[in-house]
Amino acid sequence: MLDRVLRFFIILLFAVAGAALLNMATPLLTSFISTEILQTEMGIFKLTLAGLMSILFGAVLGAAMGGLLSAFFIRRLKGFAVFVEAQLNKVPTHDVIAGAIGLFIGLIIANLLGYAFSKIPVVGEYIPVVFSIVLGYLGIHIMIKKRTELTAQFDFIPKFMKELSKGRENRTVQKAAVPETSDNNPYKLLDTSVIIDGRIADICDTGFLEGTLLIPVFVLEELQHIADSADALKRARGRRGLDILQKIRQESRMKVKITETDFEDIPEVDSKLVQLAQQLGGKIITNDFNLNKVAQLRGVEVLNINALSNAVKPVVIPGETMQATIVKSGKEAGQGVAYLEDGTMIVVENGSRHIGETLEVEVTSALQTAAGRMIFAKPCN
């Protein structure tokens, strides 16, 4: 259906262009053929017979050319539309909206200034075009760069509406208002690594976390950059993170908020996250070891997913037996390595010669490290 509409308008455009061009050539035609019949006025817009014939012939010729070239132009238009859509998909929605508003404001200012300068001789008719290009571009650029600051100037509107709605609720339902967050239930800030990890979605479903999950806009932007990466592995990780966020928002028991707060003077996302947590008095949920240490040094409480995972792993004691499948050799001579279902590493003494076999082993000791838990065992006699 769309192809038919485009084909119709292309043919119509070519027909109008052909009629206009041949109509302009009518005086040249009558100068060669000066018969009275061709000079006869038809009474339609003061057209002569020669002019009417030129318009009709030009329209037919233009329509024929349009019909022949329409397939080519339709392919080009579709390719251009796909290109524009792909570029817009890479730009955050709030940037597209801000850019459109900036362009609108820039063109209004350009129109006002252009009208004032349009009376200048010779160059006056070109000045509005220059103003439109320059001020339109500046409007887009400035609005995108300053959108956070400009949005902050109008924060009072949603706050006022929220207070107004609360007042109405208090008049209709007499009950105490419960704040969304408090000192006992601060915001939980998610970093990029824990979102991509994915386990946070399952933890939210269990109900162990309380309060509100806060996702900063700079974390979303980092996820989007990863999802748009040329590297296939990074692209898959970024898209997984976006899917996890969508799952948390739609299926989780917890409230999820996105904050537009940003710190443009701080280049690193982790540093921005720590700064935001300090301002809000919130806690950072992460599995990044380095971010964990930096946040603790700056007095920010951290909920480490890896620490939680290690804490809920089954406790093993020396002398306990279990089944283990040796999958590779260890670092030391004769050692074999096996893994539990939860990923816990088992180092089996003299197990390297049993690679690929399932053995019953006896636990000799267990070691808790920052990277996780390690179990040392030996084959049962």
Q: What is the pLDDT of residues 77-86, one digit of tens each?
A: 888 888 777 7
Q: What is the pLDDT of residues 183-203, one digit of tens each?
A: 566 888 888 888 888 888 888
38 or 377, which is more confident: 377
Give the pLDDT confidence score for residue 44 in this predicted structure.
Answer: 53
- CATH C-level class of 182-310: alpha beta
Give the pLDDT confidence score for residue 269 in this predicted structure.
Answer: 86
Three-state DSSP at 194 gives: helix
In sequence order, the 6+-apart residues with CB closer than 8 A to the CB of 358 are 323, 324, 325, 326
Q: What is the pLDDT of residues 202-261, one digit of tens each?
A: 888 887 888 888 888 888 888 888 888 888 888 888 888 888 888 888 877 778 888 888
Domains of the chain by residue range? 2-89, 92-171, 182-310, 315-379
Asked whether the predicted pLDDT for residue 281 surpasses 80, the reply is yes
Please state the rounded mean pLDDT for residues 118-124.
73
Give the pLDDT confidence score for residue 177 in this predicted structure.
Answer: 31
Band (pLDDT 50/70/90 cuts) for residue 173 is: very low
Q: What is the pLDDT of residues 292-344, one digit of tens each?
A: 888 888 888 888 887 787 777 777 788 888 888 989 888 888 889 998 877 78
Buried b (16+ CB within 10 A) or exposed e, 5-44: ebbeebbeebbbebbeebbeebeeebeeeeeeebeeeeee
Give the pLDDT confidence score for residue 60 in this predicted structure.
Answer: 84
Reported for 171-180, long-range contacts at CB under 8 A and 24+ positions apart, including other chains, are: 180/212, 180/255
CATH (one of 2.40.30.20, 2.40.50.140, 3.30.420.40, 1.10.10.10) for 315-379: 2.40.50.140
Q: What is the pLDDT of residues 261-279, one digit of tens each?
A: 888 888 888 888 888 888 8
User: How many CB atoms are closer than 10 A to CB 147?
Assistant: 20
The count of C-alpha atoms lying within 13 angstroms of the C-alpha of 175, restricted to the half-sphere facing its C-beta, is: 4
Same fold for the domain at 182-310 and the one at 315-379? no
Q: Please, are residues 235 and 194 in contact by the beta-carbon 8 Å criterion?
A: no
Give the pLDDT confidence score for residue 91 in this predicted structure.
Answer: 67
Give the pLDDT confidence score for residue 167 in this predicted structure.
Answer: 53
Give the pLDDT confidence score for residue 179 in this predicted structure.
Answer: 33
Q: What is the pLDDT of residues 33-66, one digit of tens each?
A: 555 544 555 555 556 666 667 777 778 888 888 8
Asked whether the predicted pLDDT for residue 171 surpasses 60, the reply is no
Q: What is the pLDDT of residues 10-31, one digit of tens each?
A: 888 888 887 777 766 656 555 5
User: How many CB atoms are closer than 10 A to CB 179?
Assistant: 6
- Start-to-end Cα distance in the chain: 78
For residue 43, give the DSSP letter: S
∠ CA 214-166-189 to the nearest 5 degrees? 5
Q: What is the pLDDT of residues 65-108, one digit of tens each?
A: 888 888 888 888 888 888 777 776 776 777 778 888 888 888 88
Q: What mean pLDDT value characterizes the chain?
A: 78
Three-state DSSP at 179 gives: coil
Structure tokens at 240: 């997984």
Considering only the C-alpha atoms of the chain, give the largest distance between any 2 of them, rounded to a whole number of Å.
123
